[in-house]
Amino acid sequence: MQFVYSYAGVIVTIWITLGVYWVGKRYPNYDHWQNFCSELGAKGSPTEKLSPLINNYPLGFLFCVSGWQLAKIAPNNLPLFTAGCLVILHGIGTWFAGYFPMDKDPYTETPSLSCQIHSWAGFVMLLSLLIAPLLVAFSYETEFISITFRVYSVMTCIVAVYFLMRMARAFKTRKNVGLHQRLSYWVKLIWLSLLTLHVAV
């Protein structure tokens, strides 16, 4: 169990990658390039009940554990502590996004209340893992965070925003939106994994 607590940030990246792939195999004609990850748990989807059980709920726990581990390594360092709290917030948002599913049609012009809550949870998740790397990059603690990792943290935000912009364009054309969503998100997940290893060593 101590391994899970210490390396939750690494486990979460492996878990979500395998979880999304595995659940996607149980959704007929699901395309990881074209479909959002959240469509796996959308209302009326073949994997509506399965997806949050495999992905959102355990992942939310892992994010919270990872955030707690980060927050407590330097509790007197406000930027690092806040970054840890943001990772915890990301975990809570993951729970909300799983409990309140999106509509089956992501392009609907009249989203349901559940879909609206899901979207706001997703927005919180997006911001939390964009701000956290910047806080780590500009934290004033040098004992835990190297200069190299600070630069990497800034680059993570730049690359994530780039793919986020590509996703917005893809949403309008309805082409490869799932691919760009995954690239934007997984860049931040890899950052979290490497941060976990960085502070654990």
pLDDT confidence of residue 199 = 78
Instruction: Give the pLDDT score at 77.
Output: 82
CB 27 within 8 A of CB 44: no
The identity of residue 137, as a single letter, is A
Residue count (the chain): 201
- CA-nearest of 161, 162, 152 to 193 is 152
Furthest CA-CA distance within the chain: 50
- Residue-wise pLDDT tens for the chain (201 aa)? 666 667 899 999 999 999 999 999 999 999 999 999 999 999 999 999 999 999 999 999 999 999 998 888 877 888 889 999 999 999 999 999 999 999 999 999 899 999 999 999 999 999 999 999 999 998 876 677 889 999 999 999 999 999 999 999 999 998 999 999 999 999 999 999 999 888 765
Per-residue pLDDT, 140: 76
Considering Cα of 31, then 36, then 40, then 44, what sign does the dihedral take? negative
The amino acid sitting at 112 is: S
Q: What is the pLDDT of residues 169-196, one digit of tens each?
A: 999 998 999 999 999 999 999 999 999 8
Question: Residue 1 class from Cβ within 10 Å (0-12 exposed, 13-18 middle, 19+ buried)?
Answer: exposed
Structure tokens at 41: 């748990």
Sequence letter at residue 83:
A
For 141, half-sphere exposure in the C-beta direction (CA atoms, 13 angstrom radius) is: 18
> Helix, strand or coil for residue 134?
helix
d(CA 105, CA 102): 8
